[in-house]
């Protein structure tokens, strides 16, 4: 197995003794049972490795045991307990293996694998700071567990540990338990073990009691996350531990866990926590390593940033890493839209396009999107390699070249690609057809990056365009720059107050890859309806034959329209990389998602809100119809379905409980409506009659459980959404 490296902050003169001999064969089998992507014993030892270097970790195993040695690695020290006399005896057999310069010993159990490193470090730290003779971990729990109880005196000092079998009625009501991790100087610890052994007793808790009886300085460190105390002494407890491990995977990263994790739209994290320049540099080093291994490093990379806080500094930092790895960089000046970088990768023949952005996330977030040479998003196996290698890199393994030297050497070249991007759009969108249409539109870029590019295109079309919220504001007006109904009140209000002044309202999100539309009356037009209009327009007016691809959360009316045209429709997982892959597979003319992203055949392999806005303007000019008129016409073909969606904060417990409840109690009906199928491809999609459906899906970019429904009537849609909410909160 791959050896784990010790943490940089190991306890220099400390030694850990991990008890893994087990009381019998059954307990030893549990130690090697799978838990998460590891085993019980591996998980316990992995935590200890974060505090102690391998040569100062002693694992006590049963006589003749080879399985644990193979699992845990040969860089640790192993001693055998030849007969199972007790936990104190197990610690005693490790005596000869403890390095002579050890000044503190931590004793931990391999069958308590959920202890966090902060808890173990906390008890060791308090022991040393307070000059204690003996220290132990405790926890206050609200359920009966088979642990000894902690008795304290009036001053709050620990005075006794009462074993479960010795509890009387009053003691059984005590909620503070002895977790079973201890710290002491080796000479004191082994002296007490010897003294107790002389009485024929070998339990470690009795040794702890000897320290208490001697009136030594005793320190306790309390655990507040009671999930940590879950021991593994039965299959049932193993199942409970597995739930806890799974739940922890979804806990938002905090100051001690700032790993880089890719979601459906790149890597995103809170600035100053997960998103740091240090993490960014490690990620860019991993991408540079991948390019070098694949032999595409000579192609160079394109790097740009949006208007978020730290985006410009991040773009420069990224450029320094690639230049430091002898990979040339085309650095886009100022702020740029994400679709421009998507376009730039194939346009310049670069190995990768890198954009610093967190898309529509709230202002305190930032992140990175990576595009391949053809402008497509990497699939999961590739982003997994990026994040895994980045997380394994140390700071001193990142190679950089100062930006001034890089520019002087020609390794970093500043170059704007706004004009080539606009020219490429205007080769596909019929600019001439729009001229003379006398259209007047209002645009809300939501303080994002679309004003220059979209403004230029609209000007070339001779469209009278008015922009709002165009200033550079990293706070985005105090809310997430997502072009949905709740955040476009200013745009809607201006159209309503204009009383026929405007033909169309358009919005783009923070990095301009999503679109929002408001019709001439001020009604917000869902992306589901917009996709229907554009599919009809492309197929029937522009004569571009082909099918349509949508994600699992997008309207089934697209399927109905495709059947009407005699074309294929395809449903894919959430994530635009899946949409573009599906488009290529069936030769689709349009691909989109209900959250505001779309592209067409022949354009970039990613969503583009700027291009989408230009195409909508073309559609209005060429057809001579308003959005409201086009919708009525399309509904005559497809009929109506009504969509609703909602989201609730997703706790780690929900991530475990909701899928389990769905699996344990297969649905046959949602209220009075019969279930005709269940799809677990991406979340859980409940299929009902007549293209009605309901979807539960945990977001890949935010800690949110999303709920989507589509039904024959608004009332039925609300009924389905209420049912989903009730199911989730039950």
Q: How far is CA 287 from CA 296, 372, 389, 392, 692, in A?
A: 11, 11, 9, 13, 43
Q: What pLDDT does residue 2 have?
A: 36
Length of the chain: 730
Mean per-residue pLDDT of the chain: 91
Domain borders along the chain are 14-230, 266-416, 422-638, 642-729
Q: Are strands 548-551 and 14-19 parallel, antiparallel or unpaired?
A: unpaired
Maximum C-alpha span of the chain: 103
Buried b (16+ CB within 10 A) or exposed e, 238-272: beebbbbbbbeeeeeeeeeebebbbebbbbbbbbe
* Contact in structure between 528 and 643 (CB atoms under 8 Å): yes
CA distance 596 to 517: 9
CA distance 306 to 668: 47
- Find out if CATH 3.90.550.10 is the number for domain 14-230: yes
Lowest-confidence range among 155-169, 530-544, 708-722?
Answer: 155-169
Arch. (CATH architecture) of 266-416: 3-Layer(aba) Sandwich (3.40)
Paired residues of 686 in beta bridges: 678, 694
pLDDT tens digit sequence for 613-625: 999 999 999 999 9
Lowest-confidence range among 18-32, 98-112, 215-229, 653-667?
Answer: 653-667
CA distance 519 to 500: 10
Q: What pLDDT does residue 165 have?
A: 67
* Contact in structure between 73 and 3 (CB atoms under 8 Å): yes
Arch. (CATH architecture) of 642-729: 2-Layer Sandwich (3.30)
* Reported confidence tier of residue 253, pLDDT bands at 50, 70, 90: very low
3-state SS, 646-680, equals EEEECCHHHHHHHHHHHHHCCCCEECCEEEEEEEC
Reported as type and span, the H/E element at residue 644 is strand 642-649
3-state secondary structure of 53: coil
Lowest-confidence range among 38-47, 141-150, 528-537, 592-601?
Answer: 141-150
* Contact in structure between 108 and 87 (CB atoms under 8 Å): no
CA distance 250 to 267: 15
Q: What pLDDT does residue 241 have?
A: 87
Q: What is the Cβ-side half-sphere exposure of residue 245, based on CA atoms within 13 angstroms?
A: 20
pLDDT tens digit sequence for 423-443: 999 999 999 999 999 999 999
- State whether the Cα torsion 175-181-186-191 is positive or negative: positive
* Contact in structure between 614 and 429 (CB atoms under 8 Å): yes
* Contact in structure between 50 and 117 (CB atoms under 8 Å): yes
pLDDT tens digit sequence for 630-650: 999 999 999 999 999 988 877
Q: What pLDDT does residue 257 have?
A: 61
Helix axes 418-428, 451-460, angle to 10 degrees: 50
CA distance 284 to 518: 39
Reported as type and span, the H/E element at residue 319 is helix 311-324
Domains 266-416 and 422-638 share a fold: yes
pLDDT tens digit sequence for 62-104: 998 999 999 999 999 999 998 888 899 999 999 999 999 999 9
3-state secondary structure of 720: helix
Distance of CA 613 to the CA centre of its chain: 30
Structure tokens at 332: 């886009």
422-638: CATH superfamily:
Alpha-D-Glucose-1,6-Bisphosphate, subunit A, domain 3 (3.40.120.10)
């Amino acid at each position: 197995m791959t050896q784990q490296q010790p943490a940089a902050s190991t306890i220099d003169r400390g030694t850990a003794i991990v008890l893994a001999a087990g009381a019998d064969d059954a307990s030893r089998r549990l130690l090697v049972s799978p838990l998460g992507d590891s085993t019980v014993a591996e998980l316990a030892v992995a935590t200890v490795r974060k505090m102690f270097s391998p040569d100062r970790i002693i694992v006590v195993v049963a006589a003749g045991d080879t399985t644990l040695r193979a699992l845990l690695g040969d860089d640790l020290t192993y001693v055998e307990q030849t007969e199972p006399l007790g936990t104190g005896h197990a610690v005693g057999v490790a005596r000869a293996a403890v390095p002579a310069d050890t000044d503190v010993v931590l004793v931990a159990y391999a069958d308590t694998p959920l202890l966090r490193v902060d808890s173990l470090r906390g008890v060791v730290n308090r022991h040393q700071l307070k000059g204690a003779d003996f220290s132990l971990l405790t926890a206050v729990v609200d359920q009966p567990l088979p642990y000894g109880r902690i008795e304290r005196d009036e001053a709050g000092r620990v005075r006794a540990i009462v074993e479960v079998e010795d509890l009387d009625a009053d003691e059984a009501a005590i909620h503070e338990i002895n977790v079973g991790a201890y710290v002491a100087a080796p000479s004191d610890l082994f002296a007490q073990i010897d003294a107790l052994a002389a009485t024929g007793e070998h339990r470690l808790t009795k040794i702890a009691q000897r320290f208490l009886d001697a009136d030594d300085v005793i320190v306790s460190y309390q655990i507040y996350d009671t999930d940590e105390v879950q021991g593994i002494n039965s299959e049932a407890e193993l199942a409970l531990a597995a739930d806890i491990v799974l739940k922890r995977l979804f806990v938002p990263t905090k100051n001690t866990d700032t790993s880089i994790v890719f979601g459906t739209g790149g890597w995103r994290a809170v600035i100053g926590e997960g998103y740091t320049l240090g993490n960014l540099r490690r990620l860019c080093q991993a991408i540079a390593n991948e390019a070098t291994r694949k032999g595409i490093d000579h192609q160079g990379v394109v790097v740009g940033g949006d208007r978020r806080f730290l985006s410009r500094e991040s773009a420069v930092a990224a450029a320094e890493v690639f230049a430091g790895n002898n990979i040339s960089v085309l650095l886009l000046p100022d702020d740029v839209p994400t679709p421009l970088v998507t376009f730039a990768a194939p346009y310049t023949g670069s190995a990768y396009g890198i954009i610093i952005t967190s898309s529509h996330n709230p202002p305190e977030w930032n992140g990175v999107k990576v595009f391949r040479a053809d402008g497509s998003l990497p699939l999961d196996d590739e982003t997994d390699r990026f994040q895994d290698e980045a997380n394994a890199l140390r700071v001193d393994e990142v190679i950089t070249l100062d930006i001034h030297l890089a520019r002087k050497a020609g390794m970093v070249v500043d170059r704007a690609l706004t004009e080539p991007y606009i020219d490429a759009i205007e080769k596909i969108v019929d600019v001439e057809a729009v001229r003379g249409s006398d259209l007047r539109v209002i645009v809300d870029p939501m303080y994002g990056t679309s004003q220059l590019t979209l403004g230029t295109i609209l000007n070339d079309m001779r469209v009278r365009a008015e922009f709002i919220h165009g200033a550079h504001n990293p706070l985005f007006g105090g809310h997430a720059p997502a072009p949905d109904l709740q955040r476009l009140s200013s745009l809607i209000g201006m159209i309503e107050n204009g009383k026929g002044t405007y033909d169309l309202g358009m919005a783009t999100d923070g990095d301009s890859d999503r679109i929002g539309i408001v019709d001439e009356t001020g009604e917000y037009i869902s992306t589901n309806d917009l996709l229907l209009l554009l599919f009809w327009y492309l197929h029937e007016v522009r004569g571009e034959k082909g099918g349509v691809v949508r994600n699992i959360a997008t309207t089934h009316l697209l399927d109905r329209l495709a059947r009407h045209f005699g074309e294929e429709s395809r449903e894919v997982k959430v994530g635009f990389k899946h949409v573009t892959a599906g488009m290529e597979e069936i030769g689709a003319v349009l691909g989109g998602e209900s959250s505001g992203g779309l592209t067409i055949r022949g354009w970039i392999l990613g969503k583009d809100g700027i291009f989408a806005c230009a195409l909508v303007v073309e559609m209005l000019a060429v057809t001579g119809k308003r959005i409201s008129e086009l919708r009525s016409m399309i509904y005559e073909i497809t009929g109506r379905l009504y969509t609703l969606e909602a989201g609730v904060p997703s706790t780690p417990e929900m991530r475990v409980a909701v899928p389990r409840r769905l699996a344990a109690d297969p649905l046959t009906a949602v209220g009075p409506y019969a279930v005709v199928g269940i799809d677990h491809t991406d979340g859980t999609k409940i299929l009902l009659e007549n293209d009605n459906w309901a979807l539960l899906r945990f977001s890949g970019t935010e800690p949110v459980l999303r709920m989507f429904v589509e039904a024959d009537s608004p009332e039925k849609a609300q009924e389905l959404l209420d049912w989903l909410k009730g199911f989730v909160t039950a």
